[in-house]
Amino acid sequence: MSDRRTLQIKQMSAHPGPIPGEGVQRGFDVCKLIDTTTCIGCKACEVACVEWNDMPFSATTFDNTYQTMPETRWNFWNLIKFNEHQRADGTIQWLMRKDQCMHCADPGCLRACPADGAIVQYTNGIVDFQQENCIGCEFCVSGCPFDIPKFNKTTKKVYKCTLCSDRVGQGLEPACIKACPTGCLKFGTKDDMKFIAETRATQLRDHFGYDKAGVYDPQSIGGTHVIYVLHDATQPELYGGLPKDPQIPWSYTVWKWLAKPVLGTFTLFGLLGVCLHYVMVGPRRPQPEPPEKEVLDGNRG
Amino acid sequence: MGTAVERFDQKAHHAFDKLGQNHVYEGELLRHRVYTRFLHWMVALFFFLALFSGFGIYLPWLFRWFTPIFGGGPLSRAMHPWFGVAFVAFFALQTLNWIKPMRWTSGDTRWIRNIRSVVSGSEKMEPPDTGFFNAGQKVQFWEIVAGCVVYLITGIILWVGADTFGRWTVAISYVLHDISALIMLGGIFIHIYLSTIGEPGTFQAMTRGAVSEAWAWTFHPAWYQQVTGRDPYQACEEARRRMSWRS
């Protein structure tokens, strides 16, 4: 796919009219669409994720909900969050949201990471951890607005959902998508998924009485490669703490890419300063020193 | 500081004087005893270990240069906090050791106001009220004390991680940790310069422990007066008269 795309003609000399083949192939970002309104909470995606990624067994936690465990783990990347929401009229609405890495267009984990090559973003938008380069500092945990990277205390590495980059690279859909029985999970290009999501949201608004239905694709981090259709897009927090306006800490932006190199260089000027002091002013010696000669003009003095 | 601290400090000094030796020759004064020198070099060792293991992680440009020294990124990250803890621990002992001579005086304020003449080299001798440490050394000392507090608090937050302290606490701690490191790094350039080529005769104070009397009356006149009972400026003038090149 990628080879053919790079050989697509972009400009043509002395050619009137459009360029042949232009716009036929699309360079695309992949995207996972999660329609929370059709999720039945069957957890097939959780099982498929553990199976495909060959995860060791992870003990579940029972806390009087249907939720498998309180949050994702280093070996459990896909978790449906079950939330009972009481509507204004007193009735209960069950909100189920499949929680996993959002594959942000502007990934906070990647910005925060100090290790060369430990986090990469592919051109298709997938954000992937390269554990062989991870140094286990856990800065990515603080960079992530969705609390996704999880530290393994034994291997001292951080793990998260890969959006099945191994499957996607072979033209397959991610394991969770394949397992979903209701079709609430879809996988395709970002444009297509956005279109389907918006269409579904319009349908929910116009025909199902969900006036506030909408698509969750937060622009504060440049959009995500996992998008949600929510019954109430104005309150994403209801869905197990989905942030309305996810942010990367300013320190990872301003400090890391601007102030760090600038101040680091500034400190080197300190080194230059003492060297210049030595050659221009010279050392202070214990007194008394030999009396100074009158030096008028260099060697001629 | 209470007497318990002083007793501890004196005991440590005695114990280390038995382990090591202080050789002071004719025309010299004892400046730093074995315990002080030991602490200084342990602080220096762990400072540089923490500095290099930290700087590999601090600047992506230096990652591939500095992390191999410690056996790679993961080991750098694993060892850096322990280097830091050792640095802070030894510096804490040095603080107990030095807290008295490091006390700030009105003479120090005058010294700082007059810093231009020190940097430009126009003042050959230190002012008469400069004691065991001058104001510049005191500023650096207290900067490191403050830096150690910042290192310790932010370092523990970074060490334990965002799961316990929250992601914003970690993100801010990281900046403070770095700023503290940069200030200390800037200070260390000046420290190394002045203790070696910048003020010749200083380095041996931290190796053998002894300095020449000329060094003492030039850089620490009040201390010279205190330990010898002689007037530093007069001593300097007498030495000048004795010198053969004055014909």
Q: What is the CATH number of domain B3-242?
A: 1.20.950.20
Nearest Cα neighbor of B11 from B33, B27, B43 is B33
Q: Do B186 and A143 touch (CB under 8 A)?
A: no
State how far residue A284 is from chain B, nearest Cα, in angstroms. 5
- Nearest-angstrom CA–CA distance, B76 and B54: 8
pLDDT score for A301: 43
Mean pLDDT across B62-74 = 93
* Interface confidence: ipTM more than 0.85: no
Which amino acid would we find at residue A184? C
pLDDT band at A1 (very low <50, low <70, confident <90, very high): very low
Q: Domain coordinates of chain B in residue numbers?
A: 3-242
Which of A135, A261, A281 lies closest to B77 in CB terms?
Answer: A135
Q: How far apart are CA A117 and CA A110, in angstroms?
A: 9
Q: Is A135 on the interface with B (CB under 8 A)?
A: yes
- The rounded radius of gyration (Å) of the Cα atoms in chain A is 28
Average pLDDT over every residue of B170-196: 93
Q: Give the tens place of pLDDT for each residue, B221-247.
A: 999 999 999 999 999 999 988 886 655
How confident is the model over A46-78, as pLDDT tens digits? 999 999 999 988 899 998 889 999 999 999 999
Distance separating alpha carbons of residues A96 and A42, to the nearest angstrom: 10
- Non-local (6+) Cβ contacts of B221 within 8 A are B125, B126, B127, B128, B129, B130, B232, B233
Binary contact (B171, A264; C-beta < 8 A): no
The structure's pTM equals 0.88
- In the stretch 212-251 of chain A, residues with CB closer than 8 A to chain B read 249-251
Q: Do A287 and B214 touch (CB under 8 A)?
A: yes
pLDDT band at residue A300, thresholds of 50, 70 and 90?
low
* Mean pLDDT, rounded, for A164-175: 93
Q: Which helix (H) or strand (E) holds B11?
A: helix B3-19
Decide if A114 and B64 are in contact by the 8 Å CB cutoff: no
